[in-house]
Structure 1
Amino acid sequence: MNDDLDRIMAVMDAAFDPAWGEAWTRRQVGDSLALPATHYAFADGTGAEPAAGEDAAGFTLTRHAPGEEELLLIAVRPEWRGRGVGRALLSRALEAARTRGAERMFLEMRDNNPALALYSRMGFEPIGRRKAYYRLPDGQFRDAITFGRKL
């Protein structure tokens, strides 16, 4: 699992802009992976599962609960964005959640996240808002939007 944790962190370090403070620490990811209800998947530059040990272009991290799944993280390296990698990852996460018996998938994001276009195209709809939930490194706040989608 350490190799997979390294692969996740390599993508996260490249994909998340430090200005937003959204990247998880290695410990947070490792602690999450230690839970049996947490699942992850990688994609190469074509959106397919990369070979073992091969660098990943992106990943998803989800958590399953009876009847539902939560998308905790999705990340794609900047050089692979706009090529369908995020869509492929999200499609695979939705199918895996269905296979595990989930009827809905949820996610949360800050209100100005450019991933909104992807989530909307994939059928996610806003179901809630948390005012001033994200505190940015410059002291400003952004709302969090919760999305849901039937599977």
Structure 2
Amino acid sequence: MSTLASMVDLRSGGPPDLPAIAALMTAAFDPRFGEAWTQAQCMGILSLPGVWLTIARQNGADVGFALARSTYEDAELLLLATHPHARRSGVGRSLLRSVIADAADRGATRLLLEVRADNEAIALYRREQFSKIGERLEYYRGAHGRSYDAHTYFRPLPQAGST
């Protein structure tokens, strides 16, 4: 994989990376929002066609990951996480740009994602040309039975041979 931001190395991941992914989710996702997946959920999705995992490393440590899938013309960013101590260092942007490029290489024409309505990552998605196209009320089930709305975003993808 390529290096998309200084000092961020990206590589393909797989089932052996699930313990590291679980640790990253524990650090990155506040449990009160209900956004993290279990290792079993990650293993299940990784076994499906068109799913890929990208791991970000800085200074020899795993600091983030992106889990995505493509089906025909659509791709979906399922999870994107950056360890709190690595935020605002280019990790999330590098992972997102990698997913965009990989999805386009797989023939997708647009990339979709869902994000909690007040998640700070929305600023990154907007900078990377994502547009809000919908809302899902009470989509995330967090701690103590509280629910949180999600926003759906999309971005058209560059096609092979386009500039």
What is the TM-score normalised by the length of structure 1? 0.89
8 Å Cα contact 1:7/1:55 also seen in 2: no
In structure 2, the partner of 1:39 is: 52
1:58 aligns with 2:59: no
Task: Provide the C-alpha distance between the structure 2 equivalents of 1:78 and 1:140, rounded to a whole number of angstroms.
Answer: 24
Q: CA deviation at 1:13?
A: 1.7
Task: Provide the C-alpha distance between the structure 2 equivalents of 1:96 and 1:56, rounded to a whole number of angstroms.
Answer: 20
In structure 2, the partner of 1:16 is: 29
How many aligned residue pairs are there? 144
Task: Provide the C-alpha distance between the structure 2 equivalents of 1:2 and 1:106, rounded to a whole number of angstroms.
Answer: 24
Q: CA deviation at 1:131?
A: 1.8
Task: Provide the C-alpha distance between the structure 2 equivalents of 1:7 and 1:134, rounded to a whole number of angstroms.
Answer: 23
1:146 aligns with 2:159: no
Structure 2 CA distance for partners of 1:148 and 1:2, relative to 1, 3 Å? closer
8 Å Cα contact 1:106/1:149 also seen in 2: yes
In structure 1, the partner of 2:89 is: 83
Deviations 1:86-112 (A, max 9, x none): 000000110000100011000001111
Deviations 1:67-124 (A, max 9, x none): 1100000000011001010000000110000100011000001111111111110111
Task: Provide the C-alpha distance between the structure 2 equivalents of 1:116 and 1:26, rounded to a whole number of angstroms.
Answer: 25
Give the gaps of 5 or more residues in structure 1.
47-53
Q: What amino acid is the match of 1:9? A: A
Q: What amino acid is the match of 1:109? A: V
Q: CA deviation at 1:40?
A: 0.8
What is the TM-score normalised by the length of structure 2? 0.83
RMSD (Å), alpha carbons: 1.4
Q: CA deviation at 1:2?
A: 3.8
Q: CA deviation at 1:137?
A: 1.5
Identity %: 44
Structure 1: 4+ residue segments shifted above 3 A: none
